[in-house]
Structure 1
Amino acid sequence: MNIKAFISEHRDLSIVLVVYSGLAFIFLTFFHYNLMGDEISYISIAHHYSTGNWNEAINAYWSPLYSWLIAPFLLGGFDPFQSAIIPRVLSLIVGSVTIIGLNRLAKTFNLDGMVRSALLVSCIPMVLFFAIRYATPDLLVSCILVFYFAVIFNYRYPDDVSNGFWSGFLGALGYLAKSFVFPFFLVHFILSNFICYFEGKKRKKILKNLFLGLVVFFIVSGLWIGMISSKQGEVTIGTAKDHNHAIVGLTYPEHPIYSSGLLEPPNKDAVSIWEDPASIQLDDWNPLESVEYFVLQLEIVKNNVLRTIAFLERFSPLAMLILILSIYFVVKSESRRVKFDLVKLLMTILIYIGGYVLIFVEPRYLWPISYLLLINGFYLVNYLYERGSLNLSLRNIFLIMVMLSFMITPIMEIGGFVGSGDQLLSVGVTLRNEYNLQGNIASNDRWADTMSLSYYLGSRYFGVTKKSNQTSLEQKLELNNIDYYFVWGGGDELTFNHFQEITGNKIKNLRIYSKI
């Protein structure tokens, strides 16, 4: 099919993609230098791949797919300022593919005409915000899972053995984008096939798809598991889960990077310890080892459930109503197809959320759920219209309500973050051009900001110093071969024997002490 034929057949999708691309180009100028710790780590790891530094590139904490996609753009050379734009360009491209996937998923649930057009328009600000706010693999994970859902939820899933192959392959890609997908896919794929099996259609083909999907999934994901397990010295699908679980325990009131003092980056080319947080030795805990820990785990789950509800309401104020109505129609609907469709959606949402509430939840972790809620909301409106509960006018009113409910938060948040990161970028440019600053860096505060500056300066960041007297502080700086000590905020100027202030208070709220 040529481009002209595609546009003619998918007119609504084509218009949405054009609008999205135009807005993406405009907003890219406001956000492309807004880097956080995760983004810097993915760029740094991609740089290892682009230079053939495989030992440092293979990382059990950060999943590899996002860095693999960044790496080709770095083959021509690495400049921290120019490279900062690559993750956001990549995310915006992934966003356009996500919209195509949502169009396919909408068709899977028989959402056509005006309903599907409204859904596609609704997803523009959602996808745009996800792409430009965080240059992390979370949107990539969402994109992959949307295509996986379009395969596994299709009523023709049992008809073709290739659907089992694509399910397993997409599941493995999801794992390569984020290790959380490994357990999620196994649970979800097996349960989804059981649901199809008990629908009573083509059971032998369903079992073949289940077997093939699992084989493909384990082969593809097993290649990466083998590499990181060899490096770690034990079998693992990733170190992020254990690291994050240790942090939410009673031992650590905050992340150890803020309280452990100076921490040397894990390798000579790493920007900071954040390139491999799991290299920090932490004491993990087990909720079954004591009553105290069991109660703690229950408290963590309770708090995360409440946080999740709040995040879902941020995606759409109608989120809980959508879920409640879905449960109601699972029980009350006379349509077998509607029951199974809603069960699949609710089951997926529950499994996905269930994995995160055990440890920690952030809004971006739940982006795949936001897309399922979007599909769910429009599905309910379409169902009520088809069964005669809504006339055409009421249907259109409800479509507009659902649209606005999903669009309002991302539109507001995009406006709130426009230009963020510009001030830090300006400081980075000044330090590079006027002071030619490069070396080992430590700071008294503002861990994330100093890490970003260290990235722009091609330097290594050792973290935040512990509070101590100036003599002890200077000894710690010298022991770790620190070249520059960043002091944020006001206060009296420090007096060192082997460090001197070099900025002369020319940079607001920042003094920099250079090793003599």
Structure 2
Amino acid sequence: MKSAPLPSQKKELAAILLAYIIFAAIFGFAYRYAINPDGVSQLRLAGYIAEGNFLQSVTSSWSPLFIWLISPFLFFGFDGLAAARIVIALSGAGLVLGSWLLTLRIGLSRNSRFIAVLIAALLISDWTVRNIGADLPVAALTIFYIYLATHPDILIDRKISFFCGIAGGFSYLAHHYALPFFLAHYPLMLLLRGYIDRDKNGFPVKKVFMSLAAGVAGLLIISSIWIGIVSVKYGHLAISSKGSIAHAAVGPKDKDRRHPFFVGGLYKPRDAYAIHVFEDPSEVEFKTWSPFESREYFMYQLKLIKDNAVYILNHFVTQSPFFTYAFVIGILTLIPIAFLLNPLNNEKRFLYLWVVITFGIYCSGYLLVIARSPRRFYALMIVFLFISFHFLEEFKNGVSGVISGRRKKILIYYLLIIVVPAFALKPGVHLLKSAKDIVAIEQVNPYKEIAGRISAIQFPPPYAIIRSSQKPHTDTYIAYYLKKQLLGRPLSRDVDGITKELEAADAKSLLVFDNPEIVEKLKKDKRYIHAGAVKLENSKRYLNAVNIKQDEIKGWDKEVNVFILE
């Protein structure tokens, strides 16, 4: 099996990349103002680097690679959202290239490879606007790692093993989960290759061990630098705090274990330059738990594993936001038939085993914590797409001795009608809708507009906010554009209780969006100075903006009153 594209195929790859650029440009322009809490935090951290304050960007809560890639664009004056979209789109192009290379491991014919990677380009372009975060960078690096880890000469050429580790190290810099995945997956891939390549002299133990050492060396060269920096900052060995936070948030319901800054309450960041405590969530005390604390907790962990397993299955089959259910069922029906119609050689045995191992290990980590986000599985979706095309070809080869000529062509078209819509229908419809939205809908950035109106009133940070919207995370979007420290939302509903919370958190100001009763009481309270009010007009047009929901902008058709604590 060839491991590099032939020169004659470069035009096909160029055509796919051009198609990706067009797809990504349409999605990116339609969703250019979409934002999310993780994105706000990472944009802030990237901004510190752009300002020359690298140490302020160091945290165990966020992987650094995506932040590092954004910072040069911010340094040269790019808008934060534009910078993030550019980095994500470029990462998507890398994922398209990695996907093209991976098809060489799966043994697709030239025509099938072109169609499969073109569909992958459509899927990836859709993913570029789903979230501001490191999802596409880590997916691209994971695909490159898998491409290297499945190389037939990995036990012979130590450079391949070393670069496997390098890819694993950069994957860790993109997302902390990549580190345990590499440590569990890479040794098994070497053992699998050793098992497949064993000869009359037996299992190549020495080759496996040397390849493992080379891979781990490559991993440590990259990952140890960041681990060292973070550990020095925190004063102890620190690899990631994200896993424990995520596990705490999905814990038993005997306590409210949700992220506190998205539920309510005032939390002052440790650092004065931070606009919100979510820039470094490790500062917040979460209600952690262990399944070994009690029988009830252990049973809850088992239920969590079951629920996550069901979600992962549903995500790829019945309730996927990207795949079409009816056609995926057709593919799953096709796979065992295609498998039985063809002889099983070592090459296919290796292919099927590494796919099963990769899916099993990658999903198992999320079974313990939380799997409820499609973006965690982008790399696996690419593998699923390509293995589906592989079995389509296997089915075609299996029946080639039975039917031929016109009937064979009809069968091929029929199979394509099953496989192509399974993966291309939903993202294709989304692409058309996005193109329509560009023409038909006025795109606005409501959070930037609101912040611009509020900033006309001078008030000192840090500040708290009162809003009726049940989406506290949108408060951070406004804070990002205000560039003032946000403490959160008071839990109290009366003026005295609110004041006590504000004083305890050392708040200087309070923004009240849509609570006229509280506004009147605050105006009469001598502990507060009414700094001014802003009337938000035409807020209903925000409802047409992409990625804006009614409950996120509730109260924006009224006044925002600003109070300063004396």
Tell whether the structures are fold-level matches, with TM greater than 0.5.
Answer: yes
How many pairs are equivalent?
A: 508
Map 1:484-499 onto structure 2 (within 5 A): 484-489=509-514, 492=517, 494=519, 495-496=521-522, 497=525, 498-499=528-529
Given that 1:442 and 1:463 are in contact with CA atoms closer than 8 Å, whether structure 2 keeps it comes out as: yes
Map 1:43-62 onto structure 2 (within 5 A): 43-62=43-62
Given that 1:484 and 1:513 are in contact with CA atoms closer than 8 Å, whether structure 2 keeps it comes out as: no
Give the 3-state SS of the residue equivalent to 1:514 in structure 2.
Answer: strand
Map 1:338-377 onto structure 2 (within 5 A): 338-361=348-371, 362-377=373-388
Map 1:102-121 onto structure 2 (within 5 A): 102-121=99-118
228 and 344 in structure 1: CA distance in 2 versus 1, 3 angstrom threshold: same
200 and 42 in structure 1: CA distance in 2 versus 1, 3 angstrom threshold: same
Give the 3-state SS of the residue equivalent to 2:488 in structure 1.
Answer: strand
How high is the sequence identity, in percent, across the aligned residues? Answer: 23
Residues 160-183 of structure 1 deviation map (CA, whole Å, 9 limit, x = unaligned): 221101110000110110000111
Provide the rounded CA distance (Å) in 2 between the counterparts of 1:224 and 1:216: 14
> Where in structure 2 are there 5+ consecutive unaligned residues?
540-554
Provide the rounded CA distance (Å) in 1 between the counterparts of 2:131 and 2:411: 37
Larger radius of gyration: 2
Greater alpha carbon shift after TM alignment, 176-185 vs 310-319: 310-319
Map 1:433-512 onto structure 2 (within 5 A): 434-435=456-457, 439-445=461-467, 446-489=471-514, 492=517, 494=519, 495-496=521-522, 497=525, 498-500=528-530, 502-507=532-537, 508=539, 509-510=555-556, 511-512=559-560
465 and 411 in structure 1: CA distance in 2 versus 1, 3 angstrom threshold: farther
- Is the aligned partner of 1:294 residue 2:294? no
Greater alpha carbon shift after TM alignment, 273-282 vs 334-343: 334-343
- Is the aligned partner of 1:514 residue 2:559? no
> Where in structure 1 are there 5+ consecutive unaligned residues?
none
Provide the rounded CA distance (Å) in 1 between the counterparts of 2:491 and 2:240: 30
Give the 3-state SS of the residue equivalent to 2:244 in structure 1.
Answer: helix
Residues 284-333 of structure 1 deviation map (CA, whole Å, 9 limit, x = unaligned): 22112211110010111111112212222314225566567657877886
How far is the alpha carbon of 1:20 from its aligned partner? 1.5
491 and 377 in structure 1: CA distance in 2 versus 1, 3 angstrom threshold: farther
96 and 262 in structure 1: CA distance in 2 versus 1, 3 angstrom threshold: same
**Residue aligning to 1:382:** 393
Provide the rounded CA distance (Å) in 1 between the counterparts of 2:409 and 2:292: 55
Give the 3-state SS of the residue equivalent to 1:52 in structure 2.
Answer: coil
213 and 320 in structure 1: CA distance in 2 versus 1, 3 angstrom threshold: farther
- The one of 248, 252, 257 aligned to 2:256: 252
How far is the alpha carbon of 1:385 from its aligned partner? 2.0
Given that 1:243 and 1:282 are in contact with CA atoms closer than 8 Å, whether structure 2 keeps it comes out as: yes
Provide the rounded CA distance (Å) in 2 between the counterparts of 1:411 and 1:266: 45
Greater alpha carbon shift after TM alignment, 51-60 vs 411-420: 411-420
- The one of 121, 131, 137 aligned to 1:134: 131
- Is the aligned partner of 1:167 residue 2:182? no
- Is the aligned partner of 1:426 residue 2:474? no
- Is the aligned partner of 1:399 residue 2:430? no
Provide the rounded CA distance (Å) in 2 between the counterparts of 1:7 and 1:474: 71
**Residue aligning to 1:65:** 65
Provide the rounded CA distance (Å) in 1 between the counterparts of 2:336 and 2:295: 34
**Residue aligning to 1:410:** 427
**Residue aligning to 1:12:** 12
How far is the alpha carbon of 1:396 from its aligned partner? 3.4
**Residue aligning to 1:335:** 344
Map 1:57-206 onto structure 2 (within 5 A): 57-76=57-76, 82-201=79-198, 203=204, 204-206=206-208
42 and 6 in structure 1: CA distance in 2 versus 1, 3 angstrom threshold: farther
447 and 102 in structure 1: CA distance in 2 versus 1, 3 angstrom threshold: same
Provide the rounded CA distance (Å) in 1 between the counterparts of 2:54 and 2:65: 14
Provide the rounded CA distance (Å) in 1 between the counterparts of 2:225 and 2:534: 54
- Is the aligned partner of 1:304 residue 2:308? yes
Residues 22-44 of structure 1 deviation map (CA, whole Å, 9 limit, x = unaligned): 23233322222212111111111
Given that 2:28 and 2:128 are in contact with CA atoms closer than 8 Å, whether structure 1 keeps it comes out as: no
Residues 73-114 of structure 1 deviation map (CA, whole Å, 9 limit, x = unaligned): 22245x7xx222101111011111111110110012111311
Provide the rounded CA distance (Å) in 2 between the counterparts of 1:416 and 1:170: 36
Provide the rounded CA distance (Å) in 1 between the counterparts of 2:334 and 2:191: 24
Q: Please tell me the root mean square deviation across aligned C-alpha atoms, in Å.
A: 2.7
Give the 3-state SS of the residue equivalent to 2:155 in structure 1.
Answer: helix
